[in-house]
């Protein structure tokens, strides 16, 4: 695991860029999910920036897990 990956996994709140990198999706996909209400829960800061709590991202991913 690289230092960047380790830093991202240890952060409690992630930027949109970090979430997109972690999931391997584009920013437009992330914002499309937000518009449709199917993306992870987000925090909108007073300056308009978006953050995603690591625990919310993990919870969201767990909810999408399919039985193999």
Q: Report pLDDT digits (tens) over 6-38.
A: 555 568 999 999 999 999 999 999 999 999 999
In this structure, are residues 13 and 50 in contact, taking their beta carbons and an 8 Å threshold? no
Q: How confident is the model at residue 47 (pLDDT cuts 50, 70, 90)?
A: very high
More confident residue, 32 or 3: 32
Mean pLDDT score, 32-51: 96
pLDDT value at 68 more than 70: no
Q: How far apart are CA 48 and CA 7, in angstroms?
A: 24
Alpha helices in the chain (DSSP H): 3-10, 16-23, 27-36, 54-63
In this structure, are residues 49 and 6 in contact, taking their beta carbons and an 8 Å threshold? no
pLDDT of residue 13: 95
In this structure, are residues 19 and 10 in contact, taking their beta carbons and an 8 Å threshold? no
Please give the distance of CA 45 from its chain centroid, rounded to a whole number.
Answer: 15
Predicted TM-score (pTM) of the model is: 0.78
């Amino acid at each position: 695991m690289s230092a960047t990956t380790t830093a991202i996994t240890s952060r409690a709140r992630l930027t949109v860029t970090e979430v997109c990198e972690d999931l391997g999706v584009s920013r437009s996909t992330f914002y499309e999910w937000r518009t449709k209400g199917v993306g992870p829960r987000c925090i909108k800061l007073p300056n308009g920036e978006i953050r995603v709590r690591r625990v919310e991202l993990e919870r969201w991913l767990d909810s999408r897990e399919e039985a193999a």
